[in-house]
Structure 1
Amino acid sequence: MAHDGGEVPVASRGNTIWGSDAMAETLRALGIRYVALNPGASYRGLHDSLVNHLGNADPKMLLCLHENVAVAVAHGFAKACGERMGVILHSNVGLLNGSMALFNAWCDRVPMLVLGATGPVDAAKRRPWIDWIHTVQDQGALIRHFVKWDAQPASIPAATEALLRADRVARTAPEAPTYVNLDAALQEAPLAEMPPRPDASRFAPPPPAVPAPDAVTQAVAMLRAATRPVLLFGRMSRSPRDWARRVALAEALSASVVSEFKVGASFPTAHPLHAGPPSMALAPQAAEALKQADLIVSFDMLDLAGMLKTAGASAKVINVSLDHLLHNGFGGEHMGLPPQDLHLACLPDIALHAIADAMGVEAGTLPGEDGPSCPDRLPPEAPLDVQSFTRAVGMGLAGERACIVRLPLSWDTTAWRFTHPMDFLGFDGGGGIGSGPGMLVGAALALRGGDRLPVAVIGDGDTLMGVQAFWTAVHYGIPLLCIVSNNRSFFNDEMHQERVAIQRGRPVENRWIGQRIAGPDIDLAAMARAQGAVGIGPVTTVGDAAVAIRDGAAQARAGGVVLVDVRVTPGYGADMAAVTRG
């Protein structure tokens, strides 16, 4: 299958140099490999430069059918390989369309270089009507609260500097998206000569900060004095070396470990030191370990304050995180303010290695490459509920070296084992429905050509809002497997309506009204086929689901884009029931 979507431009014969040519040259100098976009006239100059000046290579354009998909593709790409992608959003309308996915990426702390464009800032240069409604006085203000930095340069030298700065800021820990808004008139202005291409190596991010030696000494002393330490592993790296050192440190300390389902695999979940499953809410075993602990070391845990409060923990706390550098007054994604007796302001794995070095802990054994597993098996004729669906997926993927890009809220984490940092990439950050398909495509792009099969298990609501992402995957030859947990409902909201009805003494039987996606049922497999993908299903039993998933995995391994529609009875595991019922 072609990897270029058939998009090979004819040779350009023009010899005039344009402002957008200089912008495109800067993107190439930065090493941006891809830019995901949905077309718009506000950046027609840059679009032309990417195609006719650079030849649609380095960066290569990825056409997406919605701006939310474009941002989600870059989000998934960063989660899978740690590299930022470029995204281009058309004027104010495209930026508004993509803002939900951008908020997800902000909450998930992933790097991304987002380019925008506005109608000519000089009103005398605006075309009637359309340039006026697509021009905003301060376009960056629409998203300023959930990007790390933004700019609207007014000259070519300023645009070059803004792109260099935006890329450096996005890739400096703690990482997050940045935004540069490019004036349409500036893009389309002719230049007398091409400015020198910047040496991007001179504008690279600084090396990661290391913890102060005195702070490491203090952390080691606290760990050696503890009798019941607990290690919390949150936003950690995907490096197998880092994973091995985490295991070695936990074993050297005989410390209980709690990992975070929302941000992906960070510790082997079947390890005897792992306290309970890595669920959306705090598992009872993890809560008990925290309550009994005399020292808690949090390595960039997503909601440390919430965990301590839920468990009733009173231990001393070492907090390893840089996240405080992104906290602002707009939202609550910084979570509660945790107590801390020692704060190491650096990346979590850097602190972990420094502590392990000081304690004489060995490097550990690198994890195997077998992929995630579900050891349980069920009779083929069993119907599909939350628990049996998880096992059916395990049966279908048995023996596969998969990278699970996303999992649904209803996933039964008690039956699933992660043994490698690439086994699971985590959630979407901001809880915005519709990101799953795009994130799967982006992660699959990052993994293309490797030995990991990109797989996402997502809900039907998520699929319906982002299903057009699969066209991009087919068009550019990005193999993947999407398994839809199709309960024909926005079931999380059904649970909330049930809770309100119980509180008010009203009939819970009405919870489904305005929530169920039925009458008529939607043929998700047909929606996939309409975009050129392989659509399988619907299937309704464990055996049929396992066979369909196994067949889908084989087709994806052969280069296909595959969606399997699995009809599941609505429900949640015990951990999510606790979240939705409060």
Structure 2
Amino acid sequence: MAESTKGSVDRRGFLRGAAVGAAALVTQPSVALPQPPEAPARPAAAAPSNAQLGADTETPPSGGRSRIVEHPASDFMVDVIKTLGFEYVAANPGSSFDGLHESIINYGGNKLPELLTCCHEESAVAMAHGYAKIEGRPMLALLHGNIGIQHASMAIYNAYADRVPVYIIAGNWRDAGVRNNGVNWYHSAQDMAAMVRDFVKWDDEPASLAAFAESAVRAYKIAMTPPAEPVLLVLDHNMQLRPMPQAAVRIPRLTMPTPPAGDSSAVREAARLLVAAENPQINAGRLARTPNAITLLVELAELLQAPVNGGGDRVNFPSRHRLAGNGSGQADLILNLEVQGGGGPGGPTGARAPNAKTISISALDLYIKSNLQDFQHMADVDLAIAADAEATLPALIEEVKRQLTADRRRALADRGARLAEVHAQVRSVAKEGAAYGWDANPISLARLAAELWAQIKNDDWSLVSWQGFIGGWPGRLWSIDKHHQYIGGQGAGAMGYGAPAAVGAALANMKHGRLSINIQTDGDLNYAPGVLWTAAHHKIPLLTIMHNNRGYHQEVMFIQRMASERNRGADRAHIGTTLREPNIDYARMAQAYGMHGEGPIADPRDLSPAIKRGLDRVRQGEPALIDVVTQPR
């Protein structure tokens, strides 16, 4: 559609009047001031022109004329985005995508997607990371130019290493001819995606609206096809501002491919090995894309009466199932389901018989990159099935059923009884371990987990934080058996993920009425504390309980070990590794960002009442933070 100089509102007249009015306000003080000595007469200052008003934010239109575009191309981009079903878009505002931003909130009505205001691009992407692990599909994140990509790069890498789909659009001024003479140059790039290409699954910079429509749909399919990963579209700023062409532009229909399942002959051989094994072990990594994977894995484990290590990245198997755990003795057959490399039980350092065989079913064999080597050590595998493990489980279960004889079923039942005893012993040891330091001040992590569990166990709850830095106590003491009850960790082990991912996951939980819990490490929160404001502003119910050990305790231990290995004292290990003098007041931090905050709480007798007060707030639909001073680990 052709541009016009007149629109639904006469913006040119408005700007002219506003400029003159502003100049009048400046030249007419409301209070009489002493008069300075007379100065030589000089010409009266002219009101700023329209071009001057916009000079520091955009390229002035040709000839200085104001420009009205009734149907901009960014409206069409919103139409495309809506076909992909995004509920939310997280962004820290930036001028490189202001056309798309305006179209989302006005043309799109700020619904599907709804724009979430973030204080940092890392938070925007990490929120999308956490959201996807609950919802099972991507959230959109917008980034401003190359600086936005640089800010977000750590969060993108976390999602990449965690095999999570995140959909990212970054603005750019690709055409140097339309950049202004200032900051646009610093924020642009000829190949914007190059900075993160090593850790996104696919990227593109479409040069037309038709290309944008195709690339947008293609990016979604690529992100969601196992192994899931982040994708990036770079969007030219000038293309957002152009008027829509007269001819209709096609939006391709989104049709998701079915995840690849394993070859039937390989699945048959895997079943044969599993049925014949005397002491098999099943290890699950990032297996459960959907809740159905848990049901399937329980069925397979019970058919084989085999122990299951559910891993720490997803809920793959109920924590209190009698077959949960590593079993007993040395495994003679390992079944790895979406396990990275050869780590974990049954890997290079696991308990396995010398002649044990290993079966791997993983979509990771279908996709790998070279520069950032997140793929771990190469495992010794006897049967490798390159396929999505969840999609392969139904065929494997049916083949195991077919091969199991009545005699073999009876023998496996005896094995299952022994494994149930081992599981009960492990649980008993965990309970005994939780009692150590029960009344300690600062508060033990086991008591923190136990006191919290007592108050949420009858709710539909979701732990939206990693338990690796809190001794794994929720997994040892709680009953975790639903897909949404635990979302795992960062992926790449990088800080700054925790609070934003928790807010994103809580956002996804909100429409389901779930109670979201974040046990938040203190060092991690200080990377991206502004996300607390996002939670308060958008009224996202989330209980954040600080694991406040006043330091980066993992690094404390590393320095202590290093000093010991060098026969030096560890009395200086706190230097550069602790957050003391002054102590950080996280309750006031939360209050400053607009949410309920209380603490610090170091006396264990005060813990349960504080948790109740925080939960009361969250159940009313608001976020809350409790600062708990804890033992280091």
Q: If the TM-score is normalised by the length of the shorter chain, which range does it land in?
A: 0.7 to 0.9
1:306·1:336 contact (CA, 8 Å) conserved in 2? no
Alignment deviations for residues 62-97 of structure 1 (CA, whole Å, 9 cap, x no partner): 111110110011001100110111110000001100
TM-score normalised by the chain length of structure 1:
0.87
Indicate how the Cα distance of structure 1 residues 318 and 526 shifts in structure 2: closer, same or farther if over 3 A, else same. Answer: same
Q: Aligned to 2:483, what secondary structure does the other structure show?
A: coil
In 2, Cα distance between equivalents of 1:481 and 1:247:
31
Give 2:350's aligned amino acid. A
Indicate how the Cα distance of structure 1 residues 156 and 412 shifts in structure 2: closer, same or farther if over 3 A, else same. Answer: closer
In 2, Cα distance between equivalents of 1:485 and 1:496:
19
1:270 aligns with 2:314: no
2:288·2:314 contact (CA, 8 Å) conserved in 1? no
In 1, Cα distance between equivalents of 2:9 and 2:373:
49
Alignment deviations for residues 264-304 of structure 1 (CA, whole Å, 9 cap, x no partner): 221122333222xxxxxxxxx56x65xx1111101112343
In 2, Cα distance between equivalents of 1:223 and 1:523:
54
Alignment of 1:379-394 (within 5 A): 381-383=439-441, 384-394=443-453
Instruction: Give the superposition deviation at 1:226.
Output: 0.8
In 1, Cα distance between equivalents of 2:376 and 2:487:
21
1:520 aligns with 2:579: no
Indicate how the Cα distance of structure 1 residues 306 and 399 shifts in structure 2: closer, same or farther if over 3 A, else same. Answer: closer
Look up the match of 1:411: 471
1:397·1:549 contact (CA, 8 Å) conserved in 2? no
Look up the match of 1:344: 385
Alignment of 1:92-111 (within 5 A): 92-111=146-165
Alignment of 1:107-126 (within 5 A): 107-119=161-173, 121-126=174-179
In 2, Cα distance between equivalents of 1:12 and 1:358:
69
Alignment of 1:368-517 (within 5 A): 381-383=439-441, 384-408=443-467, 409-413=469-473, 414-517=476-579
Instruction: Give the superposition deviation at 1:397.
Output: 3.2
Give 1:402's aligned amino acid. W
- Aligned match of 1:226 in 273, 277, 293? 277
In 1, Cα distance between equivalents of 2:191 and 2:9:
35
1:306·1:335 contact (CA, 8 Å) conserved in 2? no
Indicate how the Cα distance of structure 1 residues 56 and 266 shifts in structure 2: closer, same or farther if over 3 A, else same. Answer: same
Q: Aligned to 2:499, what secondary structure does the other structure show?
A: helix
In 1, Cα distance between equivalents of 2:446 and 2:623:
26
Look up the match of 1:282: none
Greater Cα offset, 470-479 or 483-492: 470-479
1:183 aligns with 2:236: yes
Q: Aligned to 2:133, what secondary structure does the other structure show?
A: helix
In 2, Cα distance between equivalents of 1:196 and 1:331:
38
Greater Cα offset, 138-147 or 536-545: 536-545
2:210·2:249 contact (CA, 8 Å) conserved in 1? no
Look up the match of 1:366: none
Give 1:268's aligned amino acid. P
- Aligned match of 1:19 in 60, 65, 73? 73
Alignment of 1:224-303 (within 5 A): 224-237=275-288, 239-261=290-312, 263-275=313-325, 289=329, 292-303=330-341
Q: Aligned to 2:235, what secondary structure does the other structure show?
A: strand
Instruction: Give the superposition deviation at 1:543.
Output: 2.8
Instruction: Give the superposition deviation at 1:249.
Output: 1.7
Indicate how the Cα distance of structure 1 residues 297 and 156 shifts in structure 2: closer, same or farther if over 3 A, else same. Answer: same
Alignment deviations for residues 134-174 of structure 1 (CA, whole Å, 9 cap, x no partner): 11121101000000000111222122221111111111111
Alignment deviations for residues 476-525 of structure 1 (CA, whole Å, 9 cap, x no partner): 22111111100000111101111111111111111110111111111101
Look up the match of 2:261: 210
Look up the match of 2:86: 32
In 2, Cα distance between equivalents of 1:397 and 1:303:
36
2:564·2:570 contact (CA, 8 Å) conserved in 1? yes
1:311 aligns with 2:350: yes
Instruction: Give the superposition deviation at 1:328.
Output: 1.0
In 1, Cα distance between equivalents of 2:340 and 2:190:
35
Identity, % of aligned positions: 33
Give 2:206's aligned amino acid. P
Look up the match of 1:6: none
In 1, Cα distance between equivalents of 2:570 and 2:216:
54
Q: Aligned to 1:271, what secondary structure does the other structure show?
A: coil
2:366·2:386 contact (CA, 8 Å) conserved in 1? no
2:217·2:252 contact (CA, 8 Å) conserved in 1? no
Instruction: Give the superposition deviation at 1:390.
Output: 2.8
Look up the match of 2:60: none
1:139 aligns with 2:192: yes
Indicate how the Cα distance of structure 1 residues 191 and 268 shifts in structure 2: closer, same or farther if over 3 A, else same. Answer: closer
2:130·2:504 contact (CA, 8 Å) conserved in 1? yes
In 1, Cα distance between equivalents of 2:541 and 2:315:
22
Q: Aligned to 2:93, what secondary structure does the other structure show?
A: coil
Look up the match of 2:105: 51
In 2, Cα distance between equivalents of 1:493 and 1:343:
37
In 2, Cα distance between equivalents of 1:412 and 1:180:
38
In 2, Cα distance between equivalents of 1:141 and 1:76:
25
In 2, Cα distance between equivalents of 1:207 and 1:246:
20
Q: Aligned to 1:294, what secondary structure does the other structure show?
A: strand
Indicate how the Cα distance of structure 1 residues 420 and 30 shifts in structure 2: closer, same or farther if over 3 A, else same. Answer: closer
Indicate how the Cα distance of structure 1 residues 12 and 421 shifts in structure 2: closer, same or farther if over 3 A, else same. Answer: farther
- Aligned match of 1:88 in 142, 153, 166? 142
Indicate how the Cα distance of structure 1 residues 541 and 510 shifts in structure 2: closer, same or farther if over 3 A, else same. Answer: same
In 1, Cα distance between equivalents of 2:93 and 2:389:
39
In 1, Cα distance between equivalents of 2:291 and 2:605:
34
Look up the match of 2:215: 162
Q: Aligned to 2:463, what secondary structure does the other structure show?
A: strand
Greater Cα offset, 105-114 or 537-546: 537-546
In 2, Cα distance between equivalents of 1:100 and 1:397:
33
1:382·1:543 contact (CA, 8 Å) conserved in 2? no
Instruction: Give the superposition deviation at 1:104.
Output: 0.6
Give 1:230's aligned amino acid. Q
1:455·1:480 contact (CA, 8 Å) conserved in 2? yes
Look up the match of 1:130: 183
Structure number, greater radius of gyration: 2
Look up the match of 2:251: 198
Instruction: Give the superposition deviation at 1:312.
Output: 5.6
In 1, Cα distance between equivalents of 2:350 and 2:286:
20
Indicate how the Cα distance of structure 1 residues 66 and 123 shifts in structure 2: closer, same or farther if over 3 A, else same. Answer: same
In 1, Cα distance between equivalents of 2:612 and 2:129:
27
**Higher relative contact order structure (alpha carbons within 8 Å, sequence separation ≥ 6):** 1
Indicate how the Cα distance of structure 1 residues 398 and 52 shifts in structure 2: closer, same or farther if over 3 A, else same. Answer: closer
Give 2:562's aligned amino acid. V
Indicate how the Cα distance of structure 1 residues 191 and 522 shifts in structure 2: closer, same or farther if over 3 A, else same. Answer: same
Give 2:317's aligned amino acid. F
2:161·2:491 contact (CA, 8 Å) conserved in 1? yes
In 2, Cα distance between equivalents of 1:430 and 1:194:
46
